[in-house]
Amino acid sequence: MKVLITGCNGQVGSCLVNLLQNKASVEICAVDRAELDITQQDAVSHYVSSFQPDVIINAAAHTAVDKAEQQIELSYAINRDGPKYLAQAANEIGALMLHISTDYVFDGTKETTYVETDLVNPQSIYGITKLAGEEAVAEVCPRHIILRTAWVFSEYGNNFVKTMLGLAKQRDTLGIVADQFGGPTYAGDIAAALIKMAQVITDSNKLFDTTNYGIYHFSGLPHVSWCEFAQEIFNKAVDQGLLVKSPDVKGIKTEEYPTPAKRPANSTLNTNKITTVFNIPASNWQLALNHLADYV
């Protein structure tokens, strides 16, 4: 299986490379913006036609949620146009397209977990452009999987876990938002899910039901607030000897921590579909916090 990975230096991209680079049955071509600018259609078409991948995994995105409120054109270029060009190129050679999306396509007002068929209503430029990317991929490439995920963390890049570990060493008390809820998701679990989906679909010994192409939700359980997530990070850090003691965590309301981009109050995603179709369980984010030394 030949796999093209875009955004290879991001959180999920790095994990994809780690999981695939030593597999004898897989040939990977891992690129970041320096090697392939996905916003340039001709470059994408040339790269894909030259490498001839069986699978394209797009892990590239403009994920700076607050900066996106000002960087509108850039957000559309990376989050909509890039995925569209990759999907077009995939369709031209009959490749499978796997694209990562986000919980931010929802407005967060639903009282229960979001399923794949729920009405989308993004409230930020990031969410709007990511939804546009979903629609573009689905429109131009029938053989596609769109994987919506949430609250991504890992040993790589910048994320909530790393931020909390840094702040815990500087402050005795921290105010953390307690009225936004979601499922923290380990990037390594996202990468493993994408790989398994690609293998199931491309396995020549199995007939994949084409009605199963489309959108899937994948995130962590149990669902928690940012405040509860932070407390668990600190508890694990103390247990692992990375912190002498946990800072005092105080839950605050969203309006007490204003940000340029509006965040959904409810980011909880229902992951039953991916478990039913691909036998992939929800991310075990608590287990992923057992090696916090790798995050510092």
> Cα dihedral angle (282, 76, 48, 11), rounded to 10 degrees?
-40
Structure confidence at residue 136 (pLDDT) = 98
Domain assignment of residue 51, yes or no: yes
Residue 42 and residue 269: Cα distance in Å, rounded? 36
| E-strand stretches of 32-190 | 55-58, 96-102, 144-149, 152-153, 173-177, 181-182, 185-186
Which residues of the chain are under the pLDDT cut of 70? 204-205
Rg (CA), the chain: 19
Buried b (16+ CB within 10 A) or exposed e, 24-59: eebebbbbbeeebbbbeeeebbebbeebebbbbbbb
Write the CATH number for 119.
Answer: 3.40.50.720
Residue 108 and residue 63: Cα distance in Å, rounded? 18
Structure confidence at residue 252 (pLDDT) = 97
Residue 172 and residue 183: Cα distance in Å, rounded? 26
Domain assignment of residue 125, yes or no: yes
Structure confidence at residue 204 (pLDDT) = 66
Q: How far apart are the first and last CA of the chain?
A: 34
Which residues does the annotation mark as catalytic? 126
Structure confidence at residue 79 (pLDDT) = 98
Bridging pattern class, strands 248-252 and 220-221:
unpaired
- Which tens digit of pLDDT belongs to each residue from 85-100? 999 999 999 999 999 9
Domain assignment of residue 211, yes or no: yes
Domain assignment of residue 139, yes or no: yes
Cα 4 → chain centroid: 17
Burial bucket for residue 74 (CB in 10 Å: 0-12, 13-18, 19+): middle
- Which tens digit of pLDDT belongs to each residue from 47-58? 999 999 999 999
Domain assignment of residue 68, yes or no: yes
Instruction: Give pTM, 2 decimals.
Output: 0.97
Residue 242 and residue 169: Cα distance in Å, rounded? 9
Residue 117 and residue 215: Cα distance in Å, rounded? 9
Domain assignment of residue 38, yes or no: yes
Structure confidence at residue 151 (pLDDT) = 98
Structure confidence at residue 50 (pLDDT) = 96
Please, which residues have CB within 8 angstroms of residue 118's CB and are 6 or more apart in sequence? 106, 110
Domain assignment of residue 245, yes or no: no
Domain assignment of residue 261, yes or no: no
Domain count, the chain: 1
Structure confidence at residue 90 (pLDDT) = 98
Can you give the residue range of the structural domain that contains 135? 2-158+184-220+270-283
> Which is nearest to 58 in space by CA: 96, 23, 24, 22?
96
Please, which residues have CB within 8 angstroms of residue 268's CB and are 6 or more apart in sequence? 112, 113, 114, 181, 182, 183, 219, 223
| DSSP letter, residue 73 | H
